[in-house]
Structure 1
Amino acid sequence: MGTKSRNLTCLLWTILILLLCPRGGLSQDDQGPGESPSEEVSDIIPAGWTLLDEVAFDLYLEAGRHLGVRYDPATQTLHRIEPRRDYELKLTAAAEEAVNRAPRWLRHELTWVFTQIPADDQDLWAAAIHDANDPYVDEIAFAVAHSSPQYLTSGYGSPDLFVRNAELIYENAAALDYVEVIDVGSSDSNDDYYSTTRYVQSFIAGTRSGVPSVTTIDAPRDVYYWYVVHPKVSSEIPAFIDPHLVESNRSHNENIAPPPAGAFWRDYLFNHADPGYPVLRDRLSRCTIAGDGTSLGGDSAIGAVNGWINASMSFTSEGERPHQPNRIYDKHIGRCGEYADLAAAAARAALIPCTSIASTSTDHIWNEFWHERWIQWEPVNNSVDEPLVYATGWGKVFGTVYEIRSDGQVRSATDRYTTGTATIDLTVTDALGHPVDGAEVRLYAKSPSATRFISDFYALTDNEGCCSFVVGDRLDYAARVTSTIGSEPNAPNQRIELVSAAVAGERYAHSVTLAGVMPALDAAPIEAPAADDSSYRLIVSFAVPEQLLAGDVWADDVAPFTQHLEKVEGGRIDFFVADGVGYEQSVAGAPFEAFGVYRQVGERQIILAIPPTADWRCVFSNAARLNNLQHLVGTVRLYAH
């Protein structure tokens, strides 16, 4: 082919690249989304081009790591590059088998938690999944995927506990008329299989036809798994517990014991009763409906659980303040914390979705249960669906109110429990003005009558260095920011004052600068090599639909610092193409040359014309992050004419 023809081909491909890459260049800093990777490749590849090879990926890309796809000129094929350092963990064969047997929607979290624990522990917990029978596989897999790595390596729990937890869900449901477990698919029939619970909402026996009129509701999938299935209620250690052993207020682990002395709360609370106390199962067996969401009377299951708690407990306390539901029941006394833990466990044993709601600033905790929406519930006061009773009836002045999820994530519920709220937005940047991800921002509150600030809530910053707090009005607020590149204030036990006497409806914005500097991609952009009409084409399509904030659990009896992942929409990565030398320099953290450089993009579709002898790597990098994982989905396809 002549020079003019060859140049025309290059020009056409360059025009196509410019059309697909906003702002018109292969080297850019782009903060906005690009073309959707879901666009049909056939729409952008001219006729006569043949697909030679393809690499697809769908994974959580950890902070500081990258995924590469190499074009091998010797074989004209593509190869995935995902290097791990010697000390980093890989999936064992057993863990990989367990991941593949789990529902597709659980596999990312399950893969992540397995890669955080040693091989022996991977195999131990993986066996519980791949040896299980349907319908228990998904419940067991969920419990493993959403337990902290620290718990899975602690020795406190066991795979037998998670298996028994799943079995008891179905056993308890079989004994109850108001609920059934619905299995949608199975591990052998459908990758996206799942289960949920179906509740009898109303039951009218006296119809003219003589046939009862029944209305049912199904719990959303996530409500079932998080608030019925998960074996951890709040801060306690999921384990078989001997209810008769004293539980230390410091470690909360002295009453862990294997069966038969130890029992799991889902069985113990449902089937056991001390002399003179009612059996929960017996009370629930008379219930025909789950509840109406507004009352505790009639033959509703939530009313039966409420009555059982009050018949089993007295509102007082002594020196021992247990967290384990079994031990709380054995003592038959407690204050709001014990009542909340026991209520959540008893409701879940009855297959009623339930969680705990807390306010540190007012030193109070209660519950919510799900009935088409989340409903306030406090058994000791026979209170239901009265979220404003604390503010308007008790005179509580809340800073923040939050839910404690079973994995330790705390989620704001302030707007449901206060008559007036304000919002505090905080942005954290480094010394150069770049956003700091994964910084812990601890919020402090002080009421008008108080003399000091108290720690009230916390959040992690996202990729943009941002977090927000919904807070009650009238209080003063301060914060402390902690990150691996610095803290502010730098002196320990100091705070930044944010707001004085917050006003309802107001939005307050604050920025904090840390002394350190964020990591960055040290790529020097170069021109893409010229390619003639015999060149191969790479089509790179990717999206980053989510970022995952890896945080420490605020309160956990397992260990001082256990981990959880918080999903946030909209992730970003860096992308570049380099030869072998440039790639190795990038891995070493040295400056390097690359083309097709995109910084912090959420999705892209890129066409690259490459000479058949080029030894190139397409690299998807999360090296510019300190903490946050990025959910990366995409393909790299190789075409030839």
Structure 2
Amino acid sequence: MKALLIVIACLLMFPYGISGNFGKEILSEISLEIEIPPGDYFYVHFNSSTLRLEKGNLSPLSKDLPIDAKVALTRVPRWLRLDLIRQLKEVENPNDYANLLMKVNEKYLDEIAFCIAHSPLGKVPSPEILLDNVKTLYLSDDLLSYANILDYKVNGERFSTISYKVLKNGKNLTVKIPPLIYYWFVVHPKITSGDVKRVYGKLWRDYLLFHNDIGYPLLIEKLSGIEYLWDYEAYYEPPHRTWKWCIENHPTAIEAVSYWVGKSVPENAYGSRPIQPNVIYHEHNGWCGELRIIAVAGLRSALVPAVGISAVGEDHVWREFYIDGWHENDNWWADGGGAVDKPDTYAYGWGRNLSALFAWKGDDSIYEVTSRYLHEGDMKKVTFVVLDQNMEPVDGARVMVIVKGPFDTTWYKNKLLELLQKVWEELPPLLKGRLMESIYKWIICMCNKLPNSTEWFKPCIWNYTDMRGECSFTLGVNRSYLFVIQRGILENPLLAKQNRFYYMEKPRKKTIPIIFFTHRQKLKKTDL
């Protein structure tokens, strides 16, 4: 990871001034922003002869990029260039993205540049998909009455956002969202851990908005004529509700998308448990995981800011939408109703002992949202300070929070059944006698009897230490936690070079020092 050094001002002052007067006089000042590659350095030197600060030689951040990429950067808004440079240095084909940035309509430039810059490092969707994504985005803008994409150019810097028509306390209002909410949670095409790709020949934004299977609702049809994004009402949606109920009670885009989700995925999960939105829609079955994916995709297709929320420790997921802040939104399986802006549902309605909750961003990073779902007295902040053997802070150590909770095994069962069926089909006919057939059926029967859920240990959230070696979590008070603190190779949770463990029976607000020495550390059990 490259370090960013921001030198706001380097000042050299004499306490009495060179004129002999009491006071302070600035002799020299430097203000600059630089990027220091790993293993490199930068220095500022004071020349006593000239009484001036002198800086080391600086190379342009883009010095290693192909010429086409350098030219493309001149067209991109300045606020995106640093992250874009970092990304273009990692992808295998920077010229392909440079050509897209050079040729694309200026109207689409900031959205495409943002998606390139803020995709997982080195794993950017293809230029064709990025262009499809933004074209469908603006097509939706032309078709939807409640949303309007706004393009700005201030001092040569281009950026965009959306304004919405809303209904609040019976009044028609127009509200805008912050530009970064627009880019991250409306524009960004990555909504799951899977790759962004065309399925059935189309990207999810196009497929979900303009396609429907026979007997299932068409999303763009349900959104046509809708005048408001939301009515600022918190409510539970009844199971198997009709479209008439939706229009009479909540004629909003939020309700329209939720209705569409319930009717499009009306069956409990079976089969392959896909993570691509188009496949989930086409197969029309799923638990909360599939419902969350297709709901986030449906909301973003409808130009509504949306993000997936994970309560991994409690085996449930849902989504949030943004308008004047984030709001809970959920569909329950088998068209069983749902909730709009009811964050107390899980801990105080269902009685779930929540551990930690997070949202997943398009660059595969996460951020914590626990405090939106637990009351103040039901959560505690736990902070780790990670130090090395010299008592210096460790930057970039990973801290994983492990809890024991329900673990959905249906995906693994289905994969095992698929494997057994494949093996059986590939057996030569000579071996498929009565005995082998009986054994095969018995194995299948035993697999089907395996539980769909079991209790198991799993990470409910994780984070990385900052430059001070600090990392904090807000955790529910009714759970026990095992913390795994890792330093070194972090690509795999089980392969870190150094590992420390810390156990808490119940979380308390406290700061915990963790010191890494060169020898192995044993489990430290506290707060029992």
TM range (shorter): 0.7 to 0.9
Q: Which residue of 2 aligns with 1:147?
A: 119
The reply to whether residue 287 of structure 1 matches residue 203 of structure 2 is no
Q: Which residue of 2 aligns with 1:499?
A: 504
Task: Give the conservation status (yes or no) of the 8 Å contact 2:379–2:474.
Answer: yes
Aligned positions of 1:178-193 closer than 5 A: 178-185=146-153, 190-193=155-158
Q: Structure 1 residues 491 and 236 mapped into 2: Cα distance closer, same or farther (>3 Å)?
A: closer
- TM-score scaled by length of structure 2: 0.74
The reply to whether residue 397 of structure 1 matches residue 372 of structure 2 is no
The reply to whether residue 269 of structure 1 matches residue 273 of structure 2 is no
Show CA shifts across 1:488-522 (max 9, x none): 999999862332123xxx412211111259xxxxx
Of 159, 163, 172, which residue of structure 2 is paired with 1:194? 159
Q: Which residue of 2 aligns with 1:122?
A: 94
Cα displacement (A) at 1:61:
3.1
Q: CA RMSD in A?
A: 3.5
Q: Which residue of 2 aligns with 1:176?
A: 144
Q: Structure 1 residues 77 and 376 mapped into 2: Cα distance closer, same or farther (>3 Å)?
A: closer
Q: Which residue of 2 aligns with 1:81?
A: 57
Cα displacement (A) at 1:150:
3.2
The reply to whether residue 17 of structure 1 matches residue 22 of structure 2 is no
Of 494, 513, 517, which residue of structure 2 is paired with 1:515? 517
Q: Structure 1 residues 485 and 218 mapped into 2: Cα distance closer, same or farther (>3 Å)?
A: closer
Cα displacement (A) at 1:190:
4.1
Structure with greater helix percent: 2
Cα displacement (A) at 1:71:
11
Aligned positions of 1:28-427 closer than 5 A: 44=26, 57-67=32-42, 81-82=57-58, 90-118=64-92, 121-152=93-124, 157-185=125-153, 190-202=155-167, 214-242=172-200, 262-295=201-234, 297-380=249-332, 381-419=337-375, 420-427=378-385
SS at match of 1:418: coil
Q: Tell me the distance in 2 between the aligned counterparts of 1:494 and 1:63.
A: 23
Task: Give the conservation status (yes or no) of the 8 Å contact 1:313–1:333.
Answer: yes
Q: Structure 1 residues 56 and 239 mapped into 2: Cα distance closer, same or farther (>3 Å)?
A: farther
Which ranges in structure 1 are unaligned for 5 or more consecutive residues? 1-14, 22-38, 47-53, 206-212, 243-261, 518-641
Q: Structure 1 residues 491 and 272 mapped into 2: Cα distance closer, same or farther (>3 Å)?
A: closer
Aligned positions of 1:565-584 closer than 5 A: none
Task: Give the conservation status (yes or no) of the 8 Å contact 1:89–1:116.
Answer: no
Cα displacement (A) at 1:83:
6.8
One-letter amino acid of the structure 2 residue matched with residue 229 of structure 1: V
SS at match of 1:357: strand
One-letter amino acid of the structure 1 residue matched with residue 257 of structure 2: V
One-letter amino acid of the structure 2 residue matched with residue 172 of structure 1: S
Q: Structure 1 residues 45 and 55 mapped into 2: Cα distance closer, same or farther (>3 Å)?
A: closer
Show CA shifts across 1:396-420 (max 9, x none): 1111111111211111111111231
Q: Tell me the distance in 2 between the aligned counterparts of 1:100 and 1:268.
A: 34
Q: Which residue of 2 aligns with 1:459?
A: 463
Task: Give the conservation status (yes or no) of the 8 Å contact 1:368–1:374.
Answer: yes
Q: Structure 1 residues 314 and 92 mapped into 2: Cα distance closer, same or farther (>3 Å)?
A: same
Q: Which residue of 2 aligns with 1:544?
A: none
Cα displacement (A) at 1:55:
8.6
Cα displacement (A) at 1:202:
2.8
Q: Structure 1 residues 78 and 98 mapped into 2: Cα distance closer, same or farther (>3 Å)?
A: farther
Q: Tell me the distance in 2 between the aligned counterparts of 1:345 and 1:489.
A: 32
Q: Tell me the distance in 2 between the aligned counterparts of 1:18 and 1:203.
A: 60
Task: Give the conservation status (yes or no) of the 8 Å contact 1:278–1:312.
Answer: yes
Cα displacement (A) at 1:316:
1.0
- TM-score scaled by length of structure 1: 0.62
Q: Which residue of 2 aligns with 1:475?
A: 479
Task: Give the conservation status (yes or no) of the 8 Å contact 1:489–1:496.
Answer: no
SS at match of 2:95: helix
Task: Give the conservation status (yes or no) of the 8 Å contact 1:165–1:231.
Answer: yes
Q: Tell me the distance in 1 between the aligned counterparts of 2:58 and 2:145.
A: 51
SS at match of 2:343: coil
Task: Give the conservation status (yes or no) of the 8 Å contact 1:336–1:364.
Answer: yes
Task: Give the conservation status (yes or no) of the 8 Å contact 1:429–1:512.
Answer: yes
Show CA shifts across 1:376-396 (max 9, x none): 000233211111111111121
Q: Tell me the distance in 2 between the aligned counterparts of 1:68 and 1:303.
A: 57
Q: Structure 1 residues 499 and 77 mapped into 2: Cα distance closer, same or farther (>3 Å)?
A: closer
Show CA shifts across 1:555-597 (max 9, x none): xxxxxxxxxxxxxxxxxxxxxxxxxxxxxxxxxxxxxxxxxxx
Q: Tell me the distance in 2 between the aligned counterparts of 1:338 and 1:446.
A: 23
SS at match of 2:123: helix
Task: Give the conservation status (yes or no) of the 8 Å contact 2:487–2:499.
Answer: no
Q: Tell me the distance in 1 between the aligned counterparts of 2:353 and 2:168.
A: 41
Which ranges in structure 2 are unaligned for 5 or more consecutive residues? 1-10, 18-23, 235-245, 407-453, 520-528
Show CA shifts across 1:320-375 (max 9, x none): 01111011101011110000000000000000000000011111100100121100
Q: Tell me the distance in 2 between the aligned counterparts of 1:67 and 1:369.
A: 43
Q: Tell me the distance in 1 between the aligned counterparts of 2:127 and 2:228.
A: 33
Q: Tell me the distance in 1 between the aligned counterparts of 2:498 and 2:89.
A: 35
Show CA shifts across 1:208-244 (max 9, x none): xxxxx741000111110000000101212111112xx
Task: Give the conservation status (yes or no) of the 8 Å contact 1:362–1:397.
Answer: yes
Of stretches 463-472 and 417-426 in structure 1, the one that deviates more from structure 2 is: 417-426
Query: Alignment identity in percent?
Result: 30
Q: Which residue of 2 aligns with 1:443?
A: 401
Cα displacement (A) at 1:70:
9.1
SS at match of 1:291: coil
Q: Which residue of 2 aligns with 1:5?
A: none
Task: Give the conservation status (yes or no) of the 8 Å contact 1:89–1:115.
Answer: no
Task: Give the conservation status (yes or no) of the 8 Å contact 1:283–1:304.
Answer: yes
SS at match of 1:455: strand
Q: Structure 1 residues 137 and 71 mapped into 2: Cα distance closer, same or farther (>3 Å)?
A: farther
Q: Structure 1 residues 490 and 226 mapped into 2: Cα distance closer, same or farther (>3 Å)?
A: closer
Task: Give the conservation status (yes or no) of the 8 Å contact 2:13–2:26.
Answer: no
Q: Tell me the distance in 1 between the aligned counterparts of 2:502 and 2:405.
A: 14
Q: Structure 1 residues 79 and 437 mapped into 2: Cα distance closer, same or farther (>3 Å)?
A: closer
Q: Which residue of 2 aligns with 1:553?
A: none
One-letter amino acid of the structure 1 residue matched with residue 164 of structure 2: Y
Q: Tell me the distance in 1 between the aligned counterparts of 2:63 and 2:317.
A: 39
Q: Structure 1 residues 332 and 192 mapped into 2: Cα distance closer, same or farther (>3 Å)?
A: same
Cα displacement (A) at 1:452:
6.2
One-letter amino acid of the structure 2 residue matched with residue 422 of structure 1: K
